[in-house]
Amino acid sequence: MAVRIERVPGGEFALTTADFFINWARESALWPLTFGLACCAIEMMGAYASRFDFDRMGVIPRPSPRQADVMIIAGTVVKKMAEPIRLIYAQMPEPKFVISMGSCANCGGPYYDSYSVVKGVDKIIPVDIYIAGCPPRPEALQFAITKLQEKIGRSSPTRSALATPYQEKGSRVW
């Protein structure tokens, strides 16, 4: 992405677009809510260790959905967890993004034929990034975060702010 900042002689201020400035702030400070359900959660926890250092990318995990803008769902999603996932997603402020981590979260994985497994978290909430693997390595999560940052950088927040927000059918807010 080309930098859209014009320097003015004297260096006292710079001119830029609102979209560029808002996107820069959003992509530089992602606050994920980690939702570990099975084996992939172990790899997700490893991704936050010092070896991968997500802090330098501006990724700081948050304990509350009201503070988070990214939800990372890692592991097998069973039908009993569908409603809590939907409720937590509804509590997140806009703009909100979802990363589906691992084969189980993406499509049910090896438990696809089970009666209690949801065939992908995208049947419950919209997903922005899918990470393949069983379980995916922490490097894959790091790559997904950078791809999400690129996606945010290409978005137009001023246009989306003019759109009317809607509540998904059947969702409830506590």
Tens of pLDDT, residue by residue over 83-95, are: 999 999 999 998 8
What confidence score (pLDDT) does residue 14 get?
A: 63
Q: Is the Cβ–Cβ distance between 71 and 101 less than 8 Å?
A: no
Kindly indicate the confidence band of residue 1, based on its pLDDT and cuts at 50, 70 and 90: very low
Largest CA distance in the chain: 67
The answer on pLDDT for 111 being more than 80 is yes
Parallel, antiparallel, or unpaired: how do β-strands 32-36 and 14-15 relate? unpaired
CATH number of 32-153: 3.40.50.12280
What confidence score (pLDDT) does residue 7 get?
A: 64
- Going by C-alpha positions, the residue among 78, 55, 70, 80 that lies closest to residue 100 is 70
Domain limits of the chain?
Answer: 32-153
Q: Is the Cβ–Cβ distance between 152 and 26 less than 8 Å?
A: yes
The answer on pLDDT for 22 being more than 80 is no
Q: Is the Cβ–Cβ distance between 35 and 88 less than 8 Å?
A: yes
